[in-house]
Amino acid sequence: MSKERKSRVQEFGYRVPRFPADFRVLLETSEAEPRVLDARCTDISADGLAVQMEECLSVGTQVRLVLRLPGSPTSLRLAGRVTYQKNDEHGFAFIYSSEQERESIEQYLSSLGHRTLPMRRPRR
């Protein structure tokens, strides 16, 4: 890990900065009988996002995330994996299948940089 990247980890408490968000996310499960679940994004980073939703998914569950980033005319479909679950809160890691997918997320995040400050991990 580069010195610059390591200092960003320490500064924000996450591997990469997370930004507060508020937009709808659809999750398509890949079970024998697939379901589409409705969720609300609460924060986003280049590595993944956090959502609130009524249904609970187990850590490790893989889904297809369908999101329309604010200001974008098209939906983005990304693979994701549940990395955190507690009550109605879920964390998902993005599983990028192309550099274009990563660039779409990073472009959106860079548009947020001048409008909002990254979130800090709560001190425990």
- DSSP code, position 122: P
pLDDT at 31: 81
Mean predicted confidence (pLDDT) in 36-50: 96
Amino acid at 85: Q
Length of the chain: 124
DSSP state for residue 119 in the 8-state scheme:
B
Report d(CA 45, CA 48) in Å as an integer: 5
Interatomic CA distance for residues 44 and 48, integer angstroms: 6
- From residue 49, how far is each of 3, 4, 33, 113, 120 by CA, in Å? 25, 23, 25, 16, 14
> Is 118's pLDDT higher than 60?
no
Pairing assessment for the beta strands 89-95 and 48-52 based on DSSP bridges: antiparallel
For the segment 86-109, what is each residue's pLDDT rounded down to a tens digit?
999 999 999 999 999 999 999 999
72 compared with 4, residue with greater pLDDT: 72
Which CATH homologous superfamily contains domain 15-112?
Answer: predicted glycosyltransferase like domains (2.40.10.220)
Give residue-wise pLDDT tens across range 54-83. 999 999 999 999 999 998 888 999 999 999
d(CA 124, CA 120): 12
Residue 2: the pLDDT is 42
Give per-residue pLDDT as tens, 7-18: 333 444 557 888
Q: Round the average pLDDT of the chain to a whole number and report it.
A: 84
For residue 113, what pLDDT is reported? Answer: 66
